[in-house]
């Protein structure tokens, strides 16, 4: 896996706001692995969930993998964050 740098993260965040599935997926990768940001499974799950909703099959697999490491409250929080994000950036 390629290393994600700060400039790339900023671009992914901008692209995510337009709904680009690859940007959503790459943000999930960054947060799940701690590349350029602190590792955070709740935030990673949110990004993978959003990417999966746009048809990224690999995002579904990553989301399911990290969900195994999360408790139900964390998963619920990630889902809430995804819904909130969608209400702002459809």
Q: Is 46 exposed, middle or buried (0-12, 13-18, 19+ CB in 10 A)?
A: buried
Question: What pLDDT is attached to residue 6?
Answer: 74
**pLDDT tier, 90 (very low <50, low <70, confident <90, very high otherwise):** confident
Cβ neighbours of residue 53 closer than 8 Å, sequence gap 6 or more: 82
Question: What pLDDT is attached to residue 80?
Answer: 98
Q: List, for residues 52-84, the tens digit of each pLDDT value.
A: 999 999 999 999 999 999 999 999 999 999 999
Cβ neighbours of residue 78 closer than 8 Å, sequence gap 6 or more: 41, 42, 43, 45, 46, 49, 70
Q: List, for residues 13-43, the tens digit of each pLDDT value.
A: 999 999 999 999 999 999 999 998 999 999 9
Report the distance separating Cα 75 and Cα 4, nearest Å: 25
Q: Is 41 exposed, middle or buried (0-12, 13-18, 19+ CB in 10 A)?
A: middle
Question: What pLDDT is attached to residue 17?
Answer: 93
Report the distance separating Cα 51 and Cα 81, nearest Å: 13
């Amino acid at each position: 896996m390629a290393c994600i740098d700060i400039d790339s993260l900023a671009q992914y965040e901008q692209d995510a706001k337009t709904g680009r599935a690859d940007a959503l997926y790459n943000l999930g990768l960054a947060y799940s692995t701690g590349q350029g940001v602190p590792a955070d499974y709740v935030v990673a799950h949110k990004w993978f969930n959003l990417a999966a909703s746009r048809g990224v099959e690999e995002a579904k697999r990553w989301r399911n993998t990290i969900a195994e490491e999360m408790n139900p409250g964390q998963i619920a929080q990630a889902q809430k964050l995804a819904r909130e994000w969608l209400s702002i950036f459809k």
